[in-house]
Copies of this chain bind each other. A is one copy, B any other.
Amino acid sequence: MSLIVQKFGGTSVGSIERIQRAAARALATQQAGHDVVVIVSAMSGETNRLLKLASDIAPVPDAREMDALAATGEQVSAALMAIAIQAQGGKARSFLGHQLKILTDSAYTKARIKAIDAQRLHEALAGGKIAVVAGFQGVDDAGNITTLGRGGSDTSAVAIAAAVGAECEIYTDVDGVYTTDPNICKTARKIERISYEEMLELASLGAKVLQIRSVEVAMKYGVPVHVRSSFSDVPGTWVVSEEQSLESVTVTGVALDRNEARVMLVGVDDKPGVVAQIFGALAEENISVDMIIQNAPSYGLETRGTSGEVKADVTFTVGKADLPRAKLVMEKISSGVRAMSVRYEEDIVKVSIVGLGMRTHAGVAARMFQLLAAEGINIQAISTSEIKISCLVSTKYAELAVRALHDGFGLGGKA
């Protein structure tokens, strides 16, 4: 007998019928001989309904009250799920954040879990009950209700799985993690096993199946996570530690992000503190920066200013929604860093390849650039990490670039 945590997302509890289906699955798992802890999200649409009520009253409602408000969505789902399990003949008990003592910091709307008291869960399980836990929510030291941010129920599930030593099933409306977006590339294939590290890169790049923080928690505590569909019994994708990640491919997936805009500061002074000044100013305005590329001046060919000083170009990307605010910041600081000009580009996308294999396989980057060049796609910027290479290309090439990379790296299924 083992202990299994099953998390049902908003679409998986989006109606009475779906709640009943999820309850049946949890019961079947219990009847197969497992102890079962169920984590639920709010019914789909409910969180948005609640947030709209608040935003109809105040443009920026108080974060503490927003959390007290939003947490009701998961509370409703948890009670209904317990009732549904009971109606099917099972034993169940719902638990809220304050009842399980899911202790978080006090960062309302984006709190982080500090500790979970698993005692009450173990008591419920020992009594033959399925424990149903409201996801997304916790309490701080003072008993204030906190929430973990959008998608936070994933993190609740993985953290609880870690606390009780269970594996974690994430039921969602897709049947796993794909090598790329099947809507763009018909040969996209479901990945059977993927490492936490790769999943982190893919999640942050737009394959939004799991909340990033849940993957970080799973990696930290070695919780095996099984992402699968709540509408079928087909196995999904296992997110596991690197050693368990069996597929010995170089590249695991291709991701596309349409949400970035590029900012290029041309000819800023190439001296210590300049880059810090640029990104410090952006951070002050709470603007997240993704890619940062600075070309070190190659002496002899370097750009020089009118007084002969060494110049460099700094390129970075921000979310398209943040671009207007980023422009205001650049207007304020560009003369301070003595930029010769600032260029903005929204008509770009970021395509990335991700894979543990590229750490040990030389030439992956070169192959990526060749594949794009063969299609006549110009690369506007490049940034790399140990297991990821990202290129900015013109928006019109988005799908073409994804397909070229996906099939070029042999990710396609036999379809």
A interface, CB within 8 angstroms of B: 16, 19-20, 50, 53-54, 56-58, 61-62, 64-66, 68-69, 71-72, 75-76, 78-80, 82-84, 86-87, 92-94, 96, 98-99, 143-145
Contacts and interface: CB of A to CB of B under 8 A. Distances in A.
Contact of A87 (B50, B58, B75, B76): B58
Nearest to A74: B72
Contact of A82 (B62, B92, B145): B62
Contact of A144 (B20, B82, B99): B99
B76 A61 contact: no
Contact of A78 (B57, B68, B93, B144): B68
Contacts of A83: 54, 57-58, 61-62, 65-66, 69
A57 to B, nearest CB: 5
A50 B80 CA distance: 9
B75 A62 contact: no
Nearest to A62: B86
Contacts of A56: 16
A143 B139 CA distance: 14
A75 B84 contact: no
A386 B80 CA distance: 47
Contacts of A92: 65
Contact of A79 (B20, B65, B75, B84): B65
B69 A75 contact: yes
